[in-house]
Structure 1
């Protein structure tokens, strides 16, 4: 991305290669989540954002968001069952990652209302990965998880990175940032710090 900005926010310049991970760090309210939402084309912005040399503005927004997927700190759920959020082949295709996230095979048949906060967070990560994104924008993806679940989520993210996934991570956990990322972009007051 080049000169990504909006009123009183930015500009930000960042280029990431396949398999690279960048942590966006800074205090609460600094604008980290807004930056992720701007990259995903969920919040208005100016500047150039591209993937493989193709500008975001040249692609329909739904297609862009399949390639550049944003996982919110509090993900939304629109269907009554877990299965309603996944394609029919997802349970089999994602079995290894589901197991690494410490979710039982029957989870796809559960009603969303039954899920704990941690189960929702792990399933939201699985849902984000199900579409095969090229870039994953993660906003506090393990904030509600116990240590074993954090290890599982980090292992899944690391494996996808090894396969070429680009990750941009917002996390207030310095140890997690050190484990998962290779670069940092500090943000303060809506600007690079």
Structure 2
């Protein structure tokens, strides 16, 4: 079976206040896999994934989803197709059900099976009427994922979704994402600072340093046999600040 490219960056740059945040990013991400993104703090990882669903636009270059320039797509439809989950759950005030119904209601869908989406993220039906402020951090993150799933996305962007969680809650989220990939054939782009997590969940791994793509490979090969010296230094925790490709 031939792999289909879901996302592609073509010579993408992003600058802010005269500072280059991303420089000449060119790569393709095949459909149906988890792509983990690692790199030093401030390397441009979060900016990179925000460009995919147009929370930001590149200064130069083109980003494609399913072969279409994202700038040519209706931004609301794009953000339903390419959902995003942040480090903090960022839930709206109200009940769990209110949050899950929110996106579909905006698009005119009224009969939303809230329990279906709760089940997808491993929460039982009793959660639907709970106020989100009463949930634990791990439960809130699962509700955030359920809210994103209710929009029927094809891609999910995950910006360090477990970094604020305890180890047990992090494991639940990891297992959930792995199951969703298998059951729904979704494509995930997952930023993580935890290299052990990247090794556990990633099918492919990208290293971003100083706004540039240093290396992109299947995760097992990426960590076992890095092609670039800078990759090896990063994996070993020896990469000095300001290192470049």
Band the TM-score falls in, shorter-chain normalisation = 0.7 to 0.9
Taking the TM superposition and a 5 Å limit, the aligned residue runs for 1:93-108 are 93-99=116-122, 103-108=123-128
Return closer, same or farther for 1:58/1:78 CA change in 2, 3 Å cut-off.
Answer: same
Corresponding position of 2:92: 78
Q: Residue 122 of structure 1 aligns to a residue in which SS?
A: helix
Question: How far 1:64 sits from its partner (Å)?
Answer: 0.5
Task: Select between 65-74 and 78-87 the one with higher mean Cα deviation.
Answer: 78-87
Question: How far 1:62 sits from its partner (Å)?
Answer: 0.8
Query: What is the TM-score normalised by the length of structure 2?
Result: 0.71
Residue 43 (structure 2) pairs with residue 20 (structure 1): no
Are the equivalent residues in 1 in contact too, given 2:158–2:191 (CA < 8 A)?
yes
RMSD (Å) for aligned C-alpha atoms: 1.9
For residues 77 and 134 of structure 2, what CA distance do their matches in structure 1 show?
A: 31
- The superposition leaves residues 138-174 of structure 1 with CA deviations (integer Å, 9 ceiling, x where unpaired) of 0111223333433332222122222321111101111
Residue 154 (structure 2) pairs with residue 134 (structure 1): yes
Are the equivalent residues in 1 in contact too, given 2:115–2:125 (CA < 8 A)?
no
Structure with bigger RCO (C-alpha 8 Å, 6+ apart): 1
- The superposition leaves residues 59-93 of structure 1 with CA deviations (integer Å, 9 ceiling, x where unpaired) of 11111111111211123223322221112534232
Taking the TM superposition and a 5 Å limit, the aligned residue runs for 1:57-68 are 57-68=71-82
Residue 51 (structure 2) pairs with residue 38 (structure 1): yes
Q: Residue 160 of structure 1 aligns to a residue in which SS?
A: helix
Unaligned 5+ segments in structure 1 are none
- Rg larger in 1 or in 2? 2
Residue 178 (structure 2) pairs with residue 181 (structure 1): no
Corresponding position of 1:167: 188
For residues 23 and 113 of structure 2, what CA distance do their matches in structure 1 show?
A: 38
